[in-house]
Amino acid sequence: MGQLNGVGRMIENKEDCFQTLTQMKAARSALSSLMNKYMRENFQACLTQCKRKGEHDDVCKKFFDEIINNS
């Protein structure tokens, strides 16, 4: 969260574009790594929650595949 707040301040203060984009890329990379770790550790629980909402296995797996592949 701190990194994202910092990027927000950089945007508000109209700081150097290259530095702002570099920080955005770093934040995206960190979030992607965290999401992948979370999914590896919690996939089965997430899948169970998805199915409880009435979705079929293939719909749930497709949803998670899209999240992971688009990160």
Q: pTM for this one?
A: 0.64
CA atoms of 9 and 61, how far apart (whole Å): 37
| CA proximity to 28, closest of 64, 63, 4, 2 | 4
DSSP 3-state of 32: helix
pLDDT at 38: 87
pLDDT at 70: 66
DSSP 70: T
CATH code, domain with 61: 1.20.58
Name the token pair of 52. 């409880």
For 3-61, how does the pLDDT look when each residue is reduced to its tens digit (9 = 90+)? 889 999 999 999 999 999 999 999 999 988 888 888 888 888 887 888 788 777 777 77
Residue 40 structural domain: 2-69
In the chain, the number of structural domains is: 1
DSSP 17: H
